[in-house]
Structure 1
Amino acid sequence: MVTLILAGSVTLLLMCFKPSTSSVGQVNLPASPDVGEGLFSDKSSKNVTTMLIWSWPFGKQFNLTVCDSVYNIKGCFLTIDRNFYNMSDAVLIHNQNFLPTIQRPPFQRWIWMNFESPSHYPKSPEIENLFNLTVNYRRDADIKMPYGSIEILDVERDLVLRVKNKLLCWVVSDWKERYVRSAYYYELRKYVPISGYGKYFGKPLTATEYYRTLSKCKFYLALENSIHMDYITEKFFNALSLKTVPVVLGPPRENYERIIQGDAFIHVDDFKSPKELADYLLLLDKNEEMYLKYFEWQRHFKVKKHTSWEFRACRVCDHVRRHKEYKTINLHKWFWDE
């Protein structure tokens, strides 16, 4: 009898809140596997925040039930099921090309999530004053979500490096001649050997091969595809974590030094020309004492990367749960007119 009553309640609840199929949008997505169980384990409390993931980021599905068990974030109910639209406290939108077309409940906040630079994310008039919160790598985002961070170790550790059999490496798949980094690479390779990998060089790497290869490189070209404030991607943090010295092209040195001490990396802006940089790398290759100074930070710190979609979604939901203020964002002015 209890089972029949419960089933009837679920049916009635979904009938009340289910939007019409024609108004939901153009993408049909599978229901989240946590809908049935999560509805009663989480939504039974008035303190639970419901956040709808409007579409999977880049089509990549992830577990929606780990906020509590993995990240110790309580009171969050995540779902991909658009039947929960009208009862969702927030809607997390990653692809602005597929926006909800149904009327927004007055209490609901829309969240703009993007980790690309302004140069690689199209400006759209439809999104102006539409969103209430921003999730971005920038320090001034409502929910700051950099590609990584540096954390203090509990105890000092010894410095252990793998044998390095390559001087300077670069892994690149997204190649465009108009990128600043392309011109820099063309000039730099005239003066120092560069081991190239990735689709552009015809040497694609699996994840395992990528990490194994980078750890054998003395230096790694962490060259961003565009230069914008705070746009420091996983290229930089991967190099640091794999104990190779990143040679960076991106925002100014001061921007990087907000993340880590200045003697942990080499910035191309410190040199008058690619030739001058090449000469310095060749000097470090011959002077082990000078080279090892770039790793002293690793005795006291470690790299933590923040590229998990599960982590990002849970963090966003936790922010929505803790912060009740309501506002609208002038995205064009904030993001593109930086």
Structure 2
Amino acid sequence: MLSKTSPGFLQRFVAMVFLLLCFGSIFFIYYKPNLSSWLCPEVTWSFDHICSDTCLQIIQNENIMKIGVNNSCVVDYDLVKQKLINDVVEEHNRESQEHTLVLMWAWPFGKLVNVDSCKSLYGISGCVFTDDRRLYNEANAVIFHHRDIQGDLQNLAKMPRPPRQKWVWMNMESPDNSVKLSNWDLFNLTSSYRQDSDVWVPYGRIVDVSKEDVAFQIPTKSKLVCWIVSNWNPDFRRVKYYNEFSQHINIKAYGRHFSRYVNNKDYPKIISSCKFYLSFENSIHKDYITEKLFIPMMLGTIPVVLGPSRENYEKFIPSDSFIHVDDFKSPQELAEHLKALDQNQEMYEHYFSWRKDFVAQRTDFGREHACRICDHVTRDKGYRVFKNLDKWYWP
């Protein structure tokens, strides 16, 4: 069901008003036949056609005919439509000050945000999302996904901004995979995987086990070590490590680089069938710990991580839930450790002790960002400008 403050509700409200105008016109024509020229000439005198065809066309078609002289409509429906929209927005702002209107400059990752999902998933109420840039001046916040604006900064810098409006810079890619911004102090808030962002949204998290969760059981294993990778660069640390590591232990490798494409259906099956999974990040940065870690944890596989320091990982996951490559002097030493765990079931199962109390979750990109940004903007009305984004994110 649409919220009374959602963009869909506003559109339906406008549609209802137009339908009422149509019925009023019919009533007027019925009693004043000499004024029939007030209607568009293509409209028949059929009661149904007048409202079902022309009025709906007026609502849906933004390029409807303007005021003409003889055989054209005398009502500028575009202006009427825009006035009705403005009236609804003003009424919304006047009667529902507790609601926050968030303009998505572009839907992050192409995912639309349902108003009700913020409440049901995160307990966040009072958020209205739209991608209609005509509502720019009414928006409490505008979310800019880095990938969608990195080539459009010149135009953004020239845009006037309402004094109380927040511009939020959002990014989930590492600095190595993001076009660097230089001296652009455009934004008020940041939202990323970095824990020191204004609105922190990690790639995943460890949460308490609910009473409804079934007791965890380690899946049946048929492979020792697995890796699924497509982004292959000989200069990546993970590629160099793999090349040496694979000389000392058998690794089942999948992905575009190995010409063994894995579809969405087989992806979880493969990972859960492996005792260990190589959760190797493509770049090494503070807090850059991606779904490559959380998906194996969700599927009952021990992640072998290559990324930021062990200390960084331990901020977010239990210390005995993963194996870090930096804990070993060489790839060969790591290989020997994994082989020993393969032969000792008790030692192997120790890495799943955390599953008695916790489960791993993966972040719903785009949706969670939008909801938590809205919540932050709603609660924090203070003045804020984020200076030197380039020095913070691209050290």
Q: TM-score, normalised by structure 2?
A: 0.74
Q: Is the 8 A contact 1:306 1:312 kept in 2?
A: no
Residue 15 of structure 1, CA deviation: 7.0
- Which protein has greater RCO, CA pairs closer than 8 Å, 6+ apart? 1
Asked if 1:180 is matched to 2:237, the reply is yes
After superposition, give the CA deviation of every residue in 1:265-291 in whole Å (9 maximum; x if it has no partner). 000000000000001111111111111
What are the equivalent positions in structure 2 for 1:17-28 lying under 5 Å apart?
A: none
Matched position secondary structure for 1:238: helix
After superposition, give the CA deviation of every residue in 1:178-217 in whole Å (9 maximum; x if it has no partner). 1110100100000001111111111121222111110000
Residue 255 of structure 1: which of 305, 309, 312 is its match? 312
Residue 12 of structure 1: which of 69, 83, 90 is its match? 83
After superposition, give the CA deviation of every residue in 1:89-144 in whole Å (9 maximum; x if it has no partner). 11100033234343111221110000111111121225x22111000111111001
User: Which residue of structure 2 lines up, in the alignment, with residue 170 of structure 1?
Assistant: 227
After superposition, give the CA deviation of every residue in 1:284-325 in whole Å (9 maximum; x if it has no partner). 111111111001110111112213322221111111111112
For structure 2, list consecutive stretches of 5 or more residues without a partner in the other structure: 1-15, 22-58, 60-78
Asked if 1:191 is matched to 2:248, the reply is yes
Superposition misfits of 4+ residues, deviation over 3 angstroms: 4-10, 13-16, 38-44, 68-72, 98-101, 154-159
User: Which residue of structure 1 lines up, in the alignment, with residue 207 of structure 2?
Assistant: 151
- Change in Cα spacing, 1:39 to 1:238, as seen in structure 2 (3 Å) is farther
- Change in Cα spacing, 1:197 to 1:42, as seen in structure 2 (3 Å) is farther
Asked if 1:161 is matched to 2:214, the reply is no
User: Which residue of structure 1 lines up, in the alignment, with residue 6 of structure 2?
Assistant: none
Asked if 1:316 is matched to 2:370, the reply is no
Cα distance in 2, alignment partners of residues 286 and 71 from structure 1: 42
Cα distance in 1, alignment partners of residues 255 and 289 from structure 2: 20
| Greater mean deviation of Cα atoms: 46-55 or 148-157 | 148-157
What are the equivalent positions in structure 2 for 1:248-327 lying under 5 Å apart?
A: 248-327=305-384
Q: Is the 8 A contact 1:42 1:75 kept in 2?
A: no
Matched position secondary structure for 1:239: helix
Q: Is the 8 A contact 1:214 1:242 kept in 2?
A: yes
Cα distance in 2, alignment partners of residues 43 and 216 from structure 1: 57
Cα distance in 1, alignment partners of residues 294 and 162 from structure 2: 40
CA radius of gyration, larger in: 2
- Change in Cα spacing, 1:81 to 1:204, as seen in structure 2 (3 Å) is same
Residue 262 of structure 1, CA deviation: 1.0
Q: How large is the RMSD of aligned CA atoms in angstroms?
A: 2.4
- Change in Cα spacing, 1:122 to 1:194, as seen in structure 2 (3 Å) is same
Cα distance in 2, alignment partners of residues 44 and 211 from structure 1: 48
Q: TM-score, normalised by structure 1?
A: 0.86
The alignment of Structure 1 onto Structure 2 pairs a total of residues equal to 314
